[in-house]
Chains A and B, each alone.
Chain A
Amino acid sequence: MLHFARFAATRAVMALVTLVIVSLIVFSLMELVPGDCAERYLAYKNTQGSAITLADIAAERARLGLDQPFLTRWTSWLAGAFRGDFGDSCILRVDIAQLLGDKFWISLWICLGALFLAYMIAIPVGIISAASRNPYLNNSLRVVSYLGLAMPNFLLALMVMLVSTVYFGETLTGLFSPEYKEAPWSVDRVLDLLKHAWLPVFILGWSATAFALQTVRALMSDEIGKLYVTAAAARGLYGRRLLWRYPARHALGPIVNSLGFDLNRIFNELPIVALILTLTEAGSLLLEALARSNDQQLAGAIIFLLTASIVTLNFATDILLAVIDPRVRKSILR
C-alpha cells in the first residue's frame, strides 16, 4: 500500500511539473501579444471619449502589476491558476473564473461524453473486426474509420447543418432552448441541455471513434496472434468468452493509456464545432477571446484549463491502470 501511495505521489508530482511547463508556455504566449492589458483597456476608454496620456497607461500598468518582472508575474499567475483564479479579462473587465464558470464544465462534460461514446462504439466493433476474417466487414470498417479521419468534425458539422436545413428546415444549433438560456440550474434545464447536447457529442465523437476504432483493432489483432490465446483456444475456449477473457484484457492497458490524448484531440475540434453549431461554452468563448478581441488573459486561462483537464485525466488513467492491471501493480509493488 505504501508503494502504491509512493507511485501515486510520483505521478502527481509529474503531472504538476507538466502543468508548470504548460503554464510557462501559455504565459509566454500571452506576453508575446502586441500590446498589453493596460493599453487595451485605455484604448477602450479612448473610444468612449475620455482623453488618455502615457502617464495613464503607466498608472494602469502599475495597478495591474504589469510593471513587475516576468518571473514575478508568471509565478503569481501560476499561483492564481492553481486556485482557479485567473484575474480579470482584458476586454470584458469581468472576473474570468466567473465568466467561464459553468461554460467550462459544460464543455468538459460534452467532450467526456464524446469520448465515452467513442469507446462504447469502438471497443466492441474493434474487437469484432480484429477477430473476424470477413474481408467485406473489415474493408468497410476501414473505409468508415478513414472517413472519420478524413472528414474533420467541423466539416461533418457543416454537413449536418446543410442536411438539417435543407431537409428538415431546422437548424440544430445552440445548447439551450431560449427559455432556459439564462435560467438557474434545475432539473428541467439539465434535461433541456441533454436534448441539445447529443448533436455536439455525436459530432465530436465521430472522429474520436475513428481513432479509437483503429487503436482497438490494431491492439486486438496484435494480441490475438499470440500464443497464450492459441493455448486458451486449445483448452476449448471459443468465441466471446475467449476474446473477452484473454486478448481483450491485455489490450485494455494501452487503450486506457491513450484516453488523455483522445481528449486532447476532441478539445482540438471543440472551438470550431462550437462556432458552427453556435454553442455557448468555453470553446466558443475561446474563439471570441482570440478572433475578435485579442483578449490574451481569457485565452490563456482557457488553454490552461483545457490542458489541466487533459493532465488530470492522464493522471487518473495512470492510477486506474495500476489498479486494474496486475502487471503494472506488481511492478510498482516490487
Chain B
Amino acid sequence: MTAPSQTAKEAYFTASQRQLIWARFKKQRAAMVAATVLVVLILSGLFAPFLSPYDPTVAGRDKDYLNGAPQVPKFCDKNGCSLRPFLHTVTRERSLATNFRWVEKVNEDERRYVQFFVQGDSYKLFGFIPGNIHLFGMDQGYVHLFGTDSAGKDIFSRTLHAVWTSLQVGTLGVLISFVLALAIGGIAGYYGGMIDSVIQMVTDAVRTIPSIPLFMAIAAFIPPEWSAETRFFVITLILGLVGWPTLARRVRTHLLTERNQEYVLAAQLCGASPSHIIRRHLLPSFTSYIIVDLVISFPYVVLSETALSFIGLGLKDPVNSLGVMLQNVTKADVLLNYQWYFIPVLFFIALVMAFVFVGDGLRDAADPYSESRK
C-alpha cells in the first residue's frame, strides 16, 4: 500500500458524518447541478427586491403597457451596434382602426438604454433593510423581460418575489409539520404499545383523507376580509397542520427499528443511560434521515400552496405566488394571446425539480450502505 492511499484511507476513517455525506454527495453530478440551481434560485428569491427592476404589486405597474409582450434588450439594430443593450420605444394604439385591439408600433430610430444600479421603487430587503437601488432599469420608460399582466405588473419582478414567497411558505409549512411529526411520531415510537396503536390509528385515518380537498375545506373557512399577511400565515399553518402524518409515521418507524438495533443494546450493556443513548446514538442515526425527509417534503408544500392559490382559496394579491399569478390563465384570451403568463411556471418546475434531485442525492449520500451496494 502506498503512502497517499494510506492517508486517504486515514481521512476516510476519521471523517465525521457530515464530511462523509458531503463527499458522497459531491460525486453525484445530477444532485450537484440541482444544488447549484437551488442555491441560485434561493439567492434570487432572497434578493428579489434588488434583482427585480420594479415593485411587484400595483405600485410598480406600467399603466401604458398592459398585457405587454416580453421585451428582450438587444445590442444591434439596423442603425448599428452598441455595447450597452437597448430597447426601441414602442407606441401602442387601440382604436377603431385597429379593431379595438392593442397594436404595437416599434419606433426603430429611438433607442432606450439599459442602465445598471438605478434608483427605483423603494423596498425593504429581508423585510427590514430599506433601499431603492435596483440591479437594472431603463434610462426612460420600462423594461419587461417577461412581459406584463393585465394590470401592467412586471411578470419578471413578480416571478422573483413569488419564488421567495414559495420558499417562505415551504420552510414554514415544513417546520410546522416537522415539529408536529417529531412530537407525535416520537411519542408513538418511544412509548410503543397501546399509545402507539391509538396514535397509529388516528395517523392512518388522517393519512387516508385526500389532503388537497382537506386543505380546500379548511382554507374555505378563512374569512375573505382578512389581510393578505394574515392569510399568508394561516395558509402556511394549515399546510403544516395537514402535512404531518407521513413524516410522523417515518419518525415512529425509524425510532422503533433503531431502538432494537444491536448497537443500542451494546450501549445499554455498557451501562449507558437512556439519555446518553438517545443523544449519542439514536439522534445521530436519525438526523440525516430527517433532513432528507424535510427536503423531500418541501416541494409538496410549495405545490399545495400553488394549487390552493390557483383555485382562489390560498394567497391573494398583493402577496405574489405562482398560484396567484396563474389565477386567470385558463381564459381563452390568455391562452391565445398572452402566453408569456406561463413563463413563471418554468421557474417553479426548476425549483421543485431542484428540490427533488437534491433530496434524492442527499438520501443516497446519507445512506452509509449506498457505496457497498454499488
Q: Are B299 and A21 in contact (CB under 8 A)?
A: no
Contact A18 B339, CB 8 Å, known A152-B306, A272-B310:
no
How far is A269 from B353 in the complex, measured between Cα atoms in Å? 19
**A161 and B335: CB pair below 8 A?**
yes
Which chain A residues (260-284) contact chain B, with CB distance < 8 Å? 260-261, 264, 267-269, 271-272, 275-276
Q: Does A242 contact B (CB under 8 A)?
A: no
Interface residue stretch chosen among A123-131, A142-150, A233-241 = A142-150
**Chain A residues within an 8 Å CB radius of B30:** 139, 142
B217 and A29 contacting across the interface, CB-CB below 8 Å? yes
* A303 x B210 contact (CB < 8 A): yes
Indicate whether B78 reaches chain A with its CB closer than 8 angstroms. Answer: no
Q: A150 CA to B312 CA in the complex, in Å?
A: 21
B127 within 8 A of A: no
Number of interface residues of B (CB under 8 A): 45
A267 is contacted by which of B207, B213, B313, B353 (Cβ under 8 Å)? Answer: B213
Residue of A whose beta carbon sits closest to that of B218: A29
Interface of B is mostly: helix
- Chain A 248-266 near chain B by CB (<8 Å), digits 1 or 0: 0000000000001100100
Residue of B nearest to A29 (CB): B217
Bound Cα distance A267, B220 (Å): 18
The reply on B269 being an interface residue by CB < 8 A is: no
The answer, yes or no, to whether B129 is at the interface (CB within 8 Å) is no
CB of B345 closer than 8 Å to a CB of A: yes
Return chain A residues, CB-CB under 8 Å to B311: 271-272, 275, 287, 291
Chain A positions within 8 Å of B218 at CB level: 29
Nearest chain B CB to A144's CB is how many angstroms away? 12
Listed stretches B57-65, B113-121, B326-334; interface member? B326-334
Tell me whether A306 is interfacial, beta carbon within 8 Å. yes
Q: B303–A152 contact, CB under 8 A?
A: yes
- Assess the A267–B349 pair: CB atoms within 8 A: no
Chain A proximity of B53: nearest CB distance (Å): 26
Say yes or no: B349 contacts A155, CB within 8 Å.
yes
Interface residues of B (CB under 8 A from A): 30, 201-202, 204-214, 216-221, 223, 299, 303, 306-307, 310-313, 326, 329-330, 332, 335-336, 339, 342, 345, 348-349, 352-353, 356-357, 373
17 sample A-B contacts, Cβ–Cβ < 8 Å, listed by A number: A17-B201, A18-B201, A151-B349, A151-B352, A154-B310, A159-B342, A166-B335, A166-B339, A171-B335, A268-B213, A271-B212, A290-B216, A290-B219, A303-B210, A306-B210, A307-B208, A310-B208
Closest 8 CB pairs of A and B: A21-B205, A267-B210, A150-B352, A268-B212, A290-B220, A150-B353, A165-B335, A18-B205
